[in-house]
Amino acid sequence: MDIHTTIHISDHNKLKLERLAVLLNMNVNHITCLLITYYIQKNSKAIKMFSRIRYQKRKNNEKWLRLHVTFSPGFYEKCQDLRKFHKLSISSILSKAIELYSQEIIKNKYDNYFHNYIIFMKIVDDSPQFLILWNYQEEKKMRKLYEMYENS
């Protein structure tokens, strides 16, 4: 079952998002997922710890709108992890992705994103440990990785 959520976005960025969707012949929801996924790939080492979540900076001349999006359960969980690991709101991540990667997506015709999301947990010395996999495509490799994790 898909998850419906709301992202706050400036009118300027919403217009860019809509133009990008038209240009690439995709719907806004698909472009939103695409941009967030692209952000993940480009910023995989930007993990921060022990700080607060940062939100978008508001500019006086911008109008703020709500963007209603629908994510698969796996993609929604990925966004929640992304928020936690990067200490940025999803709205902020989307805005950064629009500003930084729109032209790159147009140029490269990037349209590949995966919704796979797997989380494993085991208890070691009374302490839970988690292994989170995003965008894992091959089931055989995933099972092998899980077995290695379980046996470590």
| pLDDT tens across the length of the chain (152 residues) | 899 999 999 999 999 999 988 888 888 998 898 898 888 878 877 778 888 888 888 777 889 999 999 998 888 988 998 898 889 999 999 999 999 988 888 777 655 555 566 666 777 888 877 777 766 666 666 667 667 767 77
Residue 61: strand, helix, or coil:
coil
pTM score, whole prediction: 0.73
**Do the beta carbons of residue 85 and residue 48 sit within 8 Å?**
yes
DSSP label at 112?
A: -
Cα distance between residue 74 and residue 55, in whole Å: 23
- Give the amino acid at 36: I
Burial class (CB in 10 A: 0-12, 13-18, 19+), 133: middle
